[in-house]
Chain A
């Protein structure tokens, strides 16, 4: 088993009967960017509902934002099956937390730390959970927004985005985000980011969900589509003015 760990190339070439167990080396069905922002009353998160099998759009109505306990919201990009496994871990975590029945409960900070341990431990076993996770929440009047990557890199920020979102959405967020944004302003900002992602990320689809978490609790809104405009001249002839390129 250890010889496998030290020889990652061999893992791809080994036939299945040579292995007693399989470890994830690449993802199968994946979701694309998730973005999250802090606003006036809490946290808002957005993600589309698409799930791709390579470059094939395999599923069109996958929820990638889920509540965790009373105070947290989890969004995921990456391998969908791994995300659903993580949800099972968290369900158990929250169940055992509730079973104490003592008035204490895990807040977003605790869940974020726990998720980081899970992701990091799995990478230490060379068997990663192939996701980038966004965790947001509010507890005792404190807003919390953080991220965890598949190898355990994690941090907090006022706005976060996974995958393409880090390239395309965060520059917009850095320009336009404010701590005291109202719900309407924040939704508008998220929609602006999601529209850019829809135009430029080929695995993004025009069916997105927005979820919010405040001191009052979680609301995951039903999926909807953005109004798009494909008439930009840049879309009509993308190679114009770039002669010699593809």
Chain B
């Protein structure tokens, strides 16, 4: 084939990646953690389905919410689920959230040169029962924070959380705890509001938001309807 022909392509081409959209948020409190994601899955300007869960329970007290390329996300979830089963067989216990956070980082970095196109937040309780949130980029760099938003609506939501949650600056010395001063119900209401707002302007966010709350009593799940247009 002549190079000229290749330049004037007249047939469909393909990419190994797609962006299926979606927004994920996690907020850590003193004794709880809220993890939330919308349930819309899109490709380009089309909606593929209005009811796809982006939230995955990886362990007793570790919840991962992921947006990005769904096939990669699913592969990542399955990989972590298998790793966690092996961990349970070997250690006779559930993996802690900080341990899962490190595993997730390593798993993402393992594919550094053909990355999982997945944007994750991992929320749960640490071994002291305190809420924790870990936030990632696609190749595995991560940080423990008090709250985080990722995905297509992150740019809309992050500044609102920055403003409303009033957590101590990470620049303060000595370091202050990053967990939010909000109560559990306040945090859940906050999540509902930021998703309703993101759904107004982000076409990849909408349909429904799934909210998972982890606290000492266990795990609770609730849903709130969002704009469907």
Contacts and interface: CB of A to CB of B under 8 A. Distances in A.
Q: Do chains A and B touch in the complex (CB under 8 A)?
A: yes
Interface of A: 9, 12-13, 15, 25-27, 54, 116, 120, 123-124, 126, 128, 130, 147, 149-157, 166-167
Contact of A157 (B6, B18, B46, B49): B49
A12 to B, nearest CB: 4
Given A13-B6, A120-B75, A155 B16 contact: no
A151 B18 contact: yes
Interface stretch (B7-15, B57-65, B176-184, B197-205): B7-15
B143 interface: no
A120 B71 contact: yes
A13 B6 CA distance: 7
Nearest to B11: A26
Interface string B74-90: 11000000000000000
Given A116-B71, A124-B16, 9 more contacts: A12-B6, A13-B3, A26-B13, A27-B11, A126-B16, A147-B48, A149-B18, A153-B48, A153-B69
A151 B14 contact: yes
A157 B70 contact: no
A15 B5 CA distance: 13
A63 to B, nearest CB: 23
Q: Top 10 nearest A-B pairs by Cβ distance?
A: A152-B71, A26-B11, A12-B6, A157-B49, A155-B49, A153-B70, A153-B71, A13-B6, A123-B16, A120-B71
B43 interface: yes
A78 B71 CA distance: 19
A19 to B, nearest CB: 12
Contacts of A154: 70-71, 74
B41 interface: yes
Interface of B: 1, 3, 6, 9, 11-18, 20, 41, 43, 46, 48-49, 51-52, 69-71, 74-75, 114
B14 A128 contact: yes
Nearest to A166: B46
Contact of B13 (A25, A124, A152): A25
A134 to B, nearest CB: 12
Contacts of B114: 124
A169 B9 CA distance: 29
Contacts of A153: 18, 20, 43, 48, 69-71
Interface centre among B3, B12, B71, B114 (most CB of A within 10 A): B71
Interface centre among B12, B16, B18, B75 (most CB of A within 10 A): B16
A116 B75 CA distance: 10
B45 to A, nearest CB: 9
A130 B12 CA distance: 11
Contacts of A130: 14
Interface centre among A27, A54, A153 (most CB of B within 10 A): A153
Given A123-B71, A153-B43, A25 B3 contact: no
A166 B48 contact: yes
B5 to A, nearest CB: 8
Given A157-B51, A167-B46, A151 B12 contact: no
Nearest to A150: B14
A154 B46 CA distance: 15
A130 B51 CA distance: 26
B6 A9 contact: yes
Contacts of B75: 120, 152
A155 B52 contact: yes
Contacts of B12: 26-27
Contacts of A120: 71, 75
Interface centre among A9, A15, A54, A152 (most CB of B within 10 A): A152
